[in-house]
Structure 1
């Protein structure tokens, strides 16, 4: 079946195929596509066009299913899934796999010449399963990511976000294609977002303490600030207002991101029908809750530490960011849950209760900038966010 790719998706696929098939190129490449930009279609088109064995790594069963379904629409033949979490371990010409399942059977994949990695920023170039797997193979690799940076900490240099082509060592050494978030917004491929900064009265970010490696705020300091200003009551008040607005249309679904279970529990006690999804939620129960949420049967889902990637619900129109963070990747992934367009959605709302908009800006302002000689960096409103010390 022939799928009509968008211009930038076709351009990304063209660059990738040329890169993979060029025998003179020995290093690995990176493609940067914004959240909601359709990486699944690009992956499927690349795999279909190279006409060789292609191994596609996906970081979770949800993302694997999404990518595999797109592949089936382009080319349903010679495709398989190798993932214990999905109960399938088959190898074909085009194989979708999770690294946890493949790592213990590396010898089964020695014949693969090409590897595509979705959410490539999850590959640790210094250690871990991806590094071990790639070292055992002779293959050319292309990674795809919306957030191409990793947190790096050292005693001598402190903490910083490093663009993944600039880490030492690195797995992906060249950006072969990228498209800006603002470009896709201007073209109408992403939903318009309205931002609302609503810090509670008395909120003081100076009371938050940074952890020892400089990567985020400590649990202890966040909890102390929450309790000092009754953040829990404020969160309930805001969600109730969103559910029953004095003017305008009622929001179709409210997804609340919390850091701790306590905020989520307060919502369930105060707002009937609210459900909690966390890392402790059994898989079947999580799937049931999310399907009911999409069907409008559950008005509010309080999410504790999950649903930042792989949650595909274009109709979602309201995000409540009820946690402070120093992580640009986390901020962008959370906001990205509302950026997918849908005919019934005029604009997505991002309601921030913890100063994150001030810290990072709106995601449309994030820009990838090539500083020359491959020195890529991410900027927001002319402020460099990667490869600078916190």
Structure 2
């Protein structure tokens, strides 16, 4: 079955094909909101480009999702090259992870066209991607919903738009669409925001980098307001909404594992997922969550990208962050469309006050080359945090 692309998806694919044909040696960026259907766009680009194409993904989950979409096009000259999926197939179209390719770069010299999903994770200064780019002449296009990365400056930390870092991988934006546009057209789920913040962020110090909150200071503030007890009572309320209509899963983001464990000790049919959760156990928990057997998943440090569960309609933010990318990715888990769904964002830690609603985030270029992210007139990138 070949999917019918929406107009903005087709426009994004057209932009990539056109710019791959240019011979100016520049790399480009496409910005597409979470839930916009990047995997379909990648599949269409791969299907139309009559050249070897190497598609990088940051992890197994996203690689498998993107490759599955490509297969729906009936394209058979494609393979996966990644130890995480236990496959090492090189074909005209090859979906890969950089770690696996890095150890065998000689085998990939013939790939001149490169597509990178979640390209904000690429370090422009050093690392495996930088070495791979330097090994041969490439034409690179990156896709992301969060086109910025945290950088240190003489005056403090700054979120820099990817085209404005020095050094940089991407020279310019060739396509973007706004979250607000997709929401207005019904392509994303409309969200209700509940700012139920109890902590006082003025009481919390920044860490040594100045780019996030100090853990000890944050923990002390959590204890001052009994955030753990507050979280438990809030989740109980969400499990029994006044409407009487049960939510389709509650995903809780915590800063510390102990918060997640305290919650699940008190809430039946709940589970914890963290960076130390064994792979098979994590897969079992998420499968039970999607089937409804598990009602609440409390997660610490995971499930911000690559977790595809469109039915999910409730997230609880029980952690403050200074990272716009992290905030966007957390809210992104609940914005994917599903029939009859109303998404709820329940914030206990001041994130909505800091960043606003995700539909108010806008990519703008007030001057040539000066790309930035703003919310309600407030500039969020390329300013000192």
Normalization by structure 1: what TM-score?
0.97
* Distance (Å, rounded) in 1 between the aligned partners of 2:50 and 2:280: 37
Aligned to 2:39: 40
Task: Give deviations 1:212-239, integer Å, cap 9, x for gaps.
Answer: 2111001111100111111100000000
* Distance (Å, rounded) in 2 between the aligned partners of 1:357 and 1:268: 25
Structure 1 residues 308-317 or 242-251, which shifts more?
A: 242-251
Structure 1 residues 291-300 or 212-221, which shifts more?
A: 212-221
Task: Give deviations 1:266-309, integer Å, cap 9, x for gaps.
Answer: 11110112101111011111111001000000000001100000
Match of 2:349 among 332, 343, 354: 354
DSSP-derived class of the 2:247 partner:
coil
Task: Give deviations 1:242-267, integer Å, cap 9, x for gaps.
Answer: 00123342211000000111110111
Task: Give deviations 1:174-204, integer Å, cap 9, x for gaps.
Answer: 100000000000111000000000123xx22
Match of 1:159 among 150, 157, 160: 157
DSSP-derived class of the 2:116 partner:
strand
Does 1:236 pair with 2:232? yes
Match of 1:185 among 161, 167, 183: 183
In the TM superposition, what are the counterparts of 1:332-351 in structure 2 within 5 Å? 332-345=328-341, 347-351=342-346
How far 1:76 sits from its partner (Å)? 2.8
What is the number of equivalent residue pairs in this alignment?
A: 385
Aligned to 1:367: 362
Aligned to 1:199: 197
User: Is the Cα–Cα contact under 8 Å of residues 208 and 218 in structure 1 kept in the other structure?
Assistant: yes
In the TM superposition, what are the counterparts of 1:6-45 in structure 2 within 5 Å? 6-23=6-23, 25-45=24-44
User: Is the Cα–Cα contact under 8 Å of residues 80 and 94 in structure 1 kept in the other structure?
Assistant: yes
* Distance (Å, rounded) in 1 between the aligned partners of 2:252 and 2:144: 24
DSSP-derived class of the 1:190 partner:
coil
How far 1:75 sits from its partner (Å)? 3.6
User: Is the Cα–Cα contact under 8 Å of residues 53 and 93 in structure 1 kept in the other structure?
Assistant: yes
Does 1:144 pair with 2:143? yes
Match of 2:297 among 301, 308, 312: 301
CA RMSD in angstroms, aligned pairs only = 0.9
Does 1:320 pair with 2:316? yes
* Distance (Å, rounded) in 2 between the aligned partners of 1:167 and 1:75: 39
* Distance (Å, rounded) in 2 between the aligned partners of 1:11 and 1:94: 21
Aligned to 2:73: 74
* Distance (Å, rounded) in 2 between the aligned partners of 1:252 and 1:86: 30
* Distance (Å, rounded) in 1 between the aligned partners of 2:66 and 2:2: 16
User: Is the Cα–Cα contact under 8 Å of residues 255 and 301 in structure 2 kept in the other structure?
Assistant: yes
Task: Give deviations 1:93-135, integer Å, cap 9, x for gaps.
Answer: 0000001111111111000110000001000101111111111
Moved over 4 A (4+): none
User: Is the Cα–Cα contact under 8 Å of residues 47 and 75 in structure 2 kept in the other structure?
Assistant: no
* Distance (Å, rounded) in 1 between the aligned partners of 2:182 and 2:244: 27
* Distance (Å, rounded) in 1 between the aligned partners of 2:44 and 2:64: 16
* Distance (Å, rounded) in 1 between the aligned partners of 2:75 and 2:19: 24
Structure 1 residues 264-273 or 380-389, which shifts more?
A: 264-273
Does 1:89 pair with 2:88? yes
DSSP-derived class of the 1:324 partner:
coil
Task: Give deviations 1:34-63, integer Å, cap 9, x for gaps.
Answer: 000000011111111111100000001000
Structure 1 segments unaligned to the other structure (5+ residues): none
* Distance (Å, rounded) in 2 between the aligned partners of 1:293 and 1:76: 33
How far 1:21 sits from its partner (Å)? 1.5
Does 1:387 pair with 2:385? no
